Structure formats: C-alpha cells, structure tokens
Structure 1
Amino acid sequence: MRAALFALMLLFPSLAHELLAASAAGAATTEEIFAVYAHGDYEQAARLGEAAHTAAGYAIAARAVLADAVLRDTPCMSCLLRAEKLSRQAIVLDPHYAYGQIWLAVSLGYQSRILGPIRSRLKDTPNQSKVALNLAFTADSTNAYAISALGGWHIEVVRAGGAFLANHVYGATEAQGISMFDLAVKTDPANVAVHYQIALSLAGFEAEKYHARIIAELRAAASNTANTAYEKKIQTRATELLGLLNQGAHDAFDLRVRKYQGFPD
C-alpha cells in the first residue's frame, strides 16, 4: 500500500497532499522522500522532508530547495535562506549527519556569491562553511559530496580573497582544493554532480590553467548515468559548456559559468 501510494505521488505530484492525508501509514520514510526529490518534485520533497521531522528528512528538504534554486534562471536568496534553515534543523537533530552539514555549507556558499566577499566575511560565511564541511568529512570521510564541496571551498576562498589572504585567514589553498577534487573523483567516479561541480569550480577560478581538467570533468558529467532529475538537468548544462569550449567561445563560456555558479548579473 505504501509503495503504491508513493508511485502515485511520482506520477501525479499535485495529488500528493491528498494521498498523504488519506494514508494511515504516517510520515514518509527517508527513501520515499528521496524518491520524490529524485523525480524532480522539489517543493513536494521539501514539504515531505519537513513533515518527517528527522535529520535525514530535513537534509533532503534542504537538498530539494537547493536543487530548485540552482536550476533557476536568476539567483534566489529566499530559496537559499530556506535551504540554510532546513539544513540547520537537520543539524540540530543530528550534528553528525553529514548531509545536514554539506547542504548548510552549499547554501551558505551560494548566498556568499549574491552578497559579495565583504558582506560574506562580515557574516563569517567562509568560516561557517569550513566548519560545516570539516564536520561532514569527519562524520563520513567517504562521502564524495563532502569531499568535493570541501575542495570547492578551498578554491572559492582563494578565488575571492587571493592566495595569501585565503591561506593566512582561513587556511585555504589551491593545492588542497585540487587534492580534495582528486579524492572525490576517486571515491565516486560515476557521480555526475561531483564531476560537474568540480568543472564549474575550476572554470570560475582558472579556466585557462585547468582547461584540460575542466573538459575531462564536463565529459564525465555528461557521459555518466544520471540518477536524478537534477543530474539530468546539469548534464544538459555540462554538454552546453563543452560545446562552448569546443567552439572557442570563451566569453560566452565564462558568462555561462558565472550564471550557473549563482552570481547575480
């Protein structure tokens, strides 16, 4: 009965609330919430995750809200603040649950791109993200999302503040970022999102220096199996970026990278 209920939810998202209300089974399980997220029903996944009142539920809710925000045409600060709140609720319930910490750091990272480096530093966003990602990595050292996000943190802090300040203020280095990217790919070589995020991070940092690595990561993102609706969407973006590189359309490529990284116009 429960499996049939969620199969119907995936086919008819608009009926989800009515179906849940009619179900005597109670709150959705983590697997059921993730299935709704994977199908691309982000708002419904977020609501189900909140209703579950579990660390995993809140974390999937945050992930769903982030997916919706990332795929929009323009940055959505309200979405990112909502994702931050959901992540923090997951952390309150279980500070050692890696995904709560990961999505907190991701939401803060996207916020910082809207706020700019000065306002982000005033809010201590870089340090908050570092703490969250270190906790995530400690909790689950084989989590490719945690590893790649930590690598992305190093690269982003160096990009925003320069190598000297990044190292002396936050302990961030380019070399450590690349090392974490290498480890993430080794840990989960078929992960579409990890390959894509590594490519995007390097493209926004030193596109010429890492040209070959960016192409390799985009190709891996485009060619591996997409397991969620979100991954299918970013595969389209990876293919688009590859096309621009192959055409030598560097200005258009840079503009697309900036857009997909969540920077405002």
Structure 2
Amino acid sequence: MAGVKHLMAVLVVLALSAPAMADLPAAREAYAAGDFVRAETLASADPSAEAQALAAGAALALLVADRAENRRNVADRLARHARAAIAADESLAEAHLRMAAAIGFEGRYTGTLRAFMRRLPQQGKTHIERAMALDGDDPWGPAMLGAWHFEVVRRGGGRALGARLEDGMEAYGQAIASAPDDPVIAYFFAVALLASGEAVYLDAARAQLARSADLSPREGLDAALDTVISARARTLLRALEDDPAHAARLAVAEMER
C-alpha cells in the first residue's frame, strides 16, 4: 500500500512539473479568426519552437492590427516568445523573423540614438539574414530586409550601416514577386515608400496600396489579419489621393507606433 501511495505521489509531481502542452490546432484556429490574444495564450503554453513562434506571431499580429492595449508590453512578449522559439530550435526561420520584428519594436521604443548604440539595427539584420539562409522561399525574409533598409535610412543610419533605399526597393520587390497575394507585405511596402519622404516613390506607394486594398483575404491562418490590413490600405490610399503630405505623415506614424 505504501508503495502505491509513493507511486501516486511521484506521478502527481511529474504531472505538475511537466510543461503544459498547447492545443496548437485551437491556437491556429483562434489566430485565423482574429482572436490573437487567445492564440498567443494557447500557443505560449507549449515550449516547442513551433508553438513559441506561433505565440510570437500572435503577439506581432496584435501590434500590426493595432489591437494592443499596451504596445510595449506586447512587444516584450513578442521578444520573449521569439527568444524561446530560437532556444528550442535555432534552425527555425520563422523564429528569427519574429526576433527581428521584436528588435525593430525595441528600437522604436528605445529611441534612435540608443538603438544605434546598442547595435539593435545590426542585430535585427542578422536575424533577418539568418532566416533567409534557413528558408529562402519565405517572402517575409526579403520583405523584412526591405523594411530594414528603408527604416535605417529614414532614421539617419544609412551610410553608417550600409542601408540604401535602392536595396530596400529591390528586396521588397522580390517579396512582392514571391507573394503577390499577400496584402500585408504590399501595405507595409507602401508605408515604407511613403515614410521615406521621397516624392519619386509616390506612384509606387499608390500602386502597392491599391494592390493591398483590392486583394481578397487568403484562406487559412492569415485571413483575419489580411482583412484588417486591406481595410487600413484603403484608408491610407484615400488619404494619399486627398493629400500626399498627410499620407506621408500617417505612414511615419505607422512606423513609429
């Protein structure tokens, strides 16, 4: 009898100490439905790289869709999930892209000078390049590289860090060619073009906003986020048609939220 009690006690301890496993199908379903908070909660309960990357993606979606009540807290969670995903599987490209996004938000909230002093742009680019080396077919690799070039130039670090608008255009163009049905990439390409302040890019920004606005939501995981971003593209496109300078200010605000 004592042996049975001891065995039961051991089993209870093991059950309590074992990591909780997320219901990943339910997390993906919540993400696809636009319930990013629930998706993050469910996925973050699982320590696997895949689950932590999904949790990071859900946190990022909250920021991108502007549904975060406290953006800094959500950005911190994004970084935490991304680090956990990389720790679980360094070869997961998605985890490095999430980490690059987290570093980008950290740079926004840190301020330009401190971000450069802490080498945040270099760290972000390292993760982007690592992701591209691991998975050359993911269009978000070149999309984020394009965003990196535009943002570093906009913040005045182009010469020091080797960022160029031309390289940003090329990288974003590669991403659009790889994912012509992705309204999110098209939208953020347009935002980068407008935020650059270069009048020569106005027509290209208009074209990408029109693309994002007209695309139907993709089936599956990205449906809800696509819907949100396409609606935002329509709003920014109307602003661009009415007042390009105002649209540029809106784009800068988007980059700095």
Q: TM-score range by the shorter chain?
A: 0.7 to 0.9
The corresponding residue for 1:22 is: none
Q: Which of 24, 49, 55 does residue 49 from structure 2 map onto?
A: 55
Residue pair 1:166, 1:173 contacting (<8 A) in 2 also: no
Q: Is the partner of 1:52 in helix, strand or coil?
A: coil
Kindly indicate whether residue 118 of structure 2 is the aligned counterpart of residue 127 of structure 1.
no
For 2:25 and 2:144, locate their aligned partners in 1 and report how far apart those are by CA, in whole Å.
24
2:136 pairs, out of 141, 160, 168, with 141
Contact 2:43 2:52 in 1 (8 A): yes
Whether the 8 Å CA contact 1:43–1:64 is kept in 2: the answer is yes
CA contact (8 A) 2:53 2:94 kept: yes
Moved more, 208-217 or 226-235: 226-235
Distance 1:153 1:234 in 2: 20
Does residue 221 in structure 1 map to residue 212 in structure 2? yes
The answer to whether the Cα contact below 8 Å between 1:207 and 1:214 also exists between their aligned partners in 2 is no
Mapping for residues 109-188 of structure 1, pairs under 5 Å: 109-167=104-162, 172-188=163-179
Residue 257 of structure 1: how far off its partner (Å) = 1.4
Residue 261 of structure 1, CA deviation: 2.0
- Match among 29, 38, 43 for residue 37 of structure 2: 43
Structure 1 position 109, deviation (Å): 0.9
CA distance in 1, matches of 2:165, 2:254: 21
Q: CA deviation at 1:72?
A: 4.0
Provide the C-alpha distance between the structure 1 equivalents of 2:68 and 2:82, rounded to a whole number of angstroms: 23
Q: Tell me, which stretches of 5 or more residues in structure 2 are unaligned?
A: 1-19
CA drift at 1:35 = 2.1
Which amino acid in the other structure matches residue 89 of structure 1? A
Q: Which runs of 5+ in 1 are unaligned?
A: 1-25
Aligned pair 1:77/2:72, yes or no?
A: yes
* Shift in CA distance, 206/254, structure 1 to aligned 2, threshold 3 Å: closer
Contact 2:68–2:74 under 8 Å retained in 1 = no
- Alpha-carbon distance between aligned partners in 2 of 1:173 and 1:209, rounded to the nearest angstrom: 15
Where does residue 87 of structure 1 map in the other structure? 82
Question: What displacement does 1:206 show?
Answer: 3.1
Q: Percentage identity across aligned positions? A: 26
Q: How many residues align?
A: 233
Deviations 1:100-143 (A, max 9, x none): 11111112112212222111112221011011000110011110
Larger radius of gyration: 2
Which deviates the most, 225-234 or 92-101? 225-234
In the alignment, is the contact (CA less than 8 A) between 1:151 and 1:181 conserved in 2?
yes
- Whether 2:198 is the aligned partner of 1:203: answer no
Residue equivalent to 2:4: none
TM-aligned CA deviation for residue 29 of structure 1: 5.3
Alpha-carbon deviation of 1:73?
7.8
CA distance in 1, matches of 2:30, 2:70: 24
Change (3 A) 1:28 1:256: same
Q: For residue 160 of structure 2, what is the amino acid of its counterpart?
A: L
Preserved contact between residue 62 and residue 68 of structure 2 (Cα < 8 Å): no
* CA-based RMSD: 1.9
Please list the CA deviations of residues 4-56 of structure 1 after superposition, one character each: whole Å capped at 9, or x if unmatched.
Answer: xxxxxxxxxxxxxxxxxxxxxx8445444222112111111111111122111
Quote the residue 1:253 is aligned against. 247
What is the TM-score normalised by the length of structure 2?
Answer: 0.84
The aligned residue for residue 12 of structure 1 is none
Q: Report the counterpart of residue 17 of structure 2 in structure 1.
A: none
Give the letter for the 1:188 counterpart.
A
Q: Which runs of 4+ in 1 moved over 6 A?
A: none
